[in-house]
């Protein structure tokens, strides 16, 4: 079904890894009449044009959304409120606003108050990514076989929801609908806390004495490597995620630190049986992840995902 236009004009507000990957699919399959990219820096706008991700580029949000049928928010989520305010007056009736943010409740609270009646907000979250950032880092297979979570509020226009779902279906995503608060809880444990832990442990290593630090880098293949990859993700994006999913993150972190204290005690007390029992149990979860087909990291064309 390539070549059928789903939206006449699509505006990307921010066009990094996720936005540019979606734009690539839209270009590849001819799903939009035209694409406009809105980015703060001239460099990003130029890159978007050079990569043919957009027909035009601007630094002005109101100009970008003018006459757009679909607006995709792809900036760090902390900027959503200000962006929604800036675009408010320029949105055309019937326009659909969506986003790709990793937190959903706070995003709904930040965006909804600024939307005029007749404009639909369909929050979405593609569960996909790599640790690389920027429009050059995107690739059109990023979303294949990944989950795409939609979290529209009750009462949202179903036609609008379906149009957003259809766009994501074309990327190869599997669509799931969820309550925004529940989404935020699930993501806190599967994504936000793991990232926080990776940032912490790599940060702890950064504070080591110089000699130890250089050896940590040298022997990173022993497990540390995976944490450095996760902890290389975009700092501003992640700052905003933690600030906007505070409650769920702190709750999951509380559970985690309790469990960690328990393990610490087991090591101190030499409780081998307790350690082994936990380590055997966690293997089962890995098996479930493999059975669910969620174990293989995405591979950009021409290289290892973990290779910059």
210 is an interface residue for a second copy by CB under 8 A: no
Other beta carbons within 10 Å of 2: 8
- Interface residue with a second copy among 83, 97, 103, 127 (CB under 8 A) is 127
Distance of CA 235 to the CA centre of its chain: 13
What 3-state DSSP class applies to 98? strand
302 is an interface residue for a second copy by CB under 8 A: no
Return the number of the residue (2 or 292) whose C-beta is nearest a second copy: 292
Minimum Å gap between C-beta 154 and a second copy is 20
In 3-state terms the chain splits into helix, strand, coil percentages (rounded to 5) of 55, 15, 35
**Site residues (CB under 8 A) for a second copy, limited to 43-72:** none
Report CA-CA distances (Å) from 307 to 47, 115, 131, 300: 21, 41, 10, 10
Map tokens 């793991």 to a residue.
Answer: 194
179 is an interface residue for a second copy by CB under 8 A: no
Q: Which residues pair with 56 in a beta bridge?
A: 36
Map tokens 């699919």 to a residue.
Answer: 25
CA-nearest of 75, 70, 59 to 20 is: 75
33 is an interface residue for a second copy by CB under 8 A: no
Part of the chain binding a second copy (CB under 8 A), chosen from 6-14, 58-66, 103-111, 256-264: 256-264
**Site residues (CB under 8 A) for a second copy, limited to 226-245:** 226-233, 235-236, 238-240, 242-243
153 is an interface residue for a second copy by CB under 8 A: no
194 is an interface residue for a second copy by CB under 8 A: yes
- Interface residue with a second copy among 5, 49, 115, 263 (CB under 8 A) is 263
- # residues contacting a second copy (CB under 8 A): 100
Sign for the pseudo-dihedral over CA of 225, 229, 232, 237 = negative
222 is an interface residue for a second copy by CB under 8 A: yes
252 is an interface residue for a second copy by CB under 8 A: yes
Structure tokens at 79: 């900027």
268 is an interface residue for a second copy by CB under 8 A: yes
- Interface residue with a second copy among 8, 43, 46, 294 (CB under 8 A) is 294
């Amino acid at each position: 079904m390539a070549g059928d236009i789903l939206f006449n004009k699509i505006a990307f507000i921010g066009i990094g890894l996720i936005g540019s990957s979606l734009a690539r699919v839209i270009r590849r399959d001819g799903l939009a009449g035209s694409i406009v990219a809105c980015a703060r820096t001239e460099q990003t706008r130029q890159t978007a044009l050079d990569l043919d991700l957009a027909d035009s580029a601007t630094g002005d949000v109101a100009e970008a959304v003018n006459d757009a049928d679909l607006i995709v928010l792809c900036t760090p989520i902390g900027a959503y409120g200000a962006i929604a305010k800036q675009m408010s007056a320029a949105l055309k009736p019937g326009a659909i606003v969506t986003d790709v943010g990793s937190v959903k409740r706070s995003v709904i609270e930040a965006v909804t108050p600024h939307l005029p009646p007749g404009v639909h907000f369909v929050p979405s979250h593609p569960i996909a990514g790599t640790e690389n950032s920027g429009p050059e880092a995107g690739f059109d297979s990023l979303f294949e076989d990944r989950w795409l979570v939609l979290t529209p509020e009750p009462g949202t226009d179903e036609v609008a929801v379906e149009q957003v779902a259809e766009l994501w279906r074309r990327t190869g995503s599997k669509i799931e609908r969820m309550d925004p608060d529940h989404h935020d809880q699930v993501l806190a444990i599967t994504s936000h806390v793991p990232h926080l832990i990776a940032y912490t442990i790599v940060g702890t290593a950064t504070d080591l004495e110089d000699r130890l630090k250089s050896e940590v880098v040298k022997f990173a293949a022993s497990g540390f490597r995976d944490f450095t990859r996760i902890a290389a993700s975009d700092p501003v994006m992640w700052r905003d995620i933690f600030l906007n999913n505070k409650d769920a993150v702190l709750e999951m972190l509380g559970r985690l630190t309790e469990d960690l204290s328990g393990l610490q005690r087991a090591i101190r007390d030499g409780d081998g049986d307790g350690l082994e029992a936990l380590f055997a149990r966690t293997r089962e979860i890995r098996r479930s992840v493999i059975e669910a087909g969620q174990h293989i990291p995405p591979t950009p064309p021409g290289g290892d995902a973990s290779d910059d």
